Amino acid sequence: MNHRYSLLLAAAAAACVAACSSTPETIDELETARAVVPQVEASPRAGVAVTNITDARKALDRANALAEKHGKVADIQYEATVASRNAQIANEKILTAQARDDIDKGTAERQTVLTEAREREARSATERANALERELADLKGKKTERGIVVTMGDVLFDTGKATLKPGAYTTVERLAAVLKEDPQRKVMIEGHTDNVGSDEYNQSLSERRAASVQAALFERGVDASQISTVGKGETTPVASNDNAAGRQQNRRVELVFQEDRSKVASDTD
């Protein structure tokens, strides 16, 4: 009795399975196709894969129609697979187009970056030069034919001596900073005196004063190749030696910064 009942149940179940097997609730291939086809259709780059997307849509429509009519599972699976494959191919073509766009944009951007770097380099070179001129202007540098001339007056030295007074340190610091900022920049340090005393004495004093400024710059880290010195004694006055004020003006050290950076500035060269 019991045995027969279970047999009946099994038969009923088998019948049901057989009936349902032609169109089960879900067919994986169809679900996949229904998900992927609209995705590629919606892509803004769908234009690169028109044929595949059209084929995918047609196959999906066929698969849907078959499912609607409870067609054979194998037929639905086939059409759905064709739809999915075409959609996948379309997707890869879209990805390729995106990558190529990125490469094109990248090529342009690379060029921009390189150009910007070159312009920035040129700008910073100009800025360095301008900064130097501003700095020298602050130090009351005068533009002359020989270049920008910064004068360190007699008051910055002990009388008759080559030693720099502490009052000269600020100026020296700034000059050192200017030279270190632009290692290509060369400076000629010229010592000058008034006409009091012998020529030999004045020559020697002017040389020692120039050397003293040079040493102070070396101490602050300026490269030796940037500096040269010359003692000019009393040969190049800037004022009359007939009065005290004029003589004081003549006792000086001049730093000549060549604007054309290729050579050391000096009218004696």
Please say which residue, 130 or 225, places its beta carbon nearer to another protein. 130
Please say which residue, 43 or 86, places its beta carbon nearer to another protein. 86
Among 24, 47, 106, 221, binds another protein (CB under 8 A): 106
Report the 10 Å Cβ neighbour count for 253: 28
**Segment lying near another protein (by CB under 8 A), choices 3-11, 103-111, 163-171, 261-269:** 103-111
Residues numbered 220-259 forming contacts with another protein, rule: CB under 8 A? none
| Closest separation in Å from C-beta 69 to another protein | 18
Residues numbered 60-89 forming contacts with another protein, rule: CB under 8 A? 78, 81-82, 85-86, 88-89
| Closest separation in Å from C-beta 114 to another protein | 7
Task: Establish if 96 lies at the interface with another protein (CB under 8 A).
Answer: yes
| Residue among 121, 63, 61, 57 nearest 90 (CA) | 57
Strand partners, 147: 144
Please say which residue, 21 or 96, places its beta carbon nearer to another protein. 96
Task: Establish if 116 lies at the interface with another protein (CB under 8 A).
Answer: yes
| Residue among 176, 137, 148, 135 nearest 258 (CA) | 148
Residue 45 φ/ψ, nearest 5 degrees: -100, 20
Please say which residue, 112 or 163, places its beta carbon nearer to another protein. 112
Task: Establish if 115 lies at the interface with another protein (CB under 8 A).
Answer: no
The helix (H) or strand (E) run that includes residue 153 is strand 147-153
Which residues lie closer than 8 Å to 87 by C-beta, 6 or more apart? Answer: 33, 36, 37, 39, 40, 52, 53, 56
C-alpha 186: how far from chain center: 29
Task: Establish if 13 lies at the interface with another protein (CB under 8 A).
Answer: no
Whole-number Cα distances in Å, 104 to 14, 45, 96, 111, 173: 62, 16, 12, 11, 52
Sign of CA dihedral 234, 208, 269, 141: negative
Tokens 């006055």 sit on residue: 237
Task: Establish if 92 lies at the interface with another protein (CB under 8 A).
Answer: yes
Please say which residue, 91 or 229, places its beta carbon nearer to another protein. 91
**Segment lying near another protein (by CB under 8 A), choices 18-26, 36-44, 116-124, 208-216:** 116-124
Separation between Cα atoms, residue 127 and residue 125, nearest integer Å: 5
Among 31, 61, 68, 109, binds another protein (CB under 8 A): 109
Binding site for another protein (CB under 8 A): 78, 81-82, 85-86, 88-89, 92-93, 95-96, 99-100, 102-103, 106-107, 109-110, 113-114, 116-117, 120-121, 124, 127-128
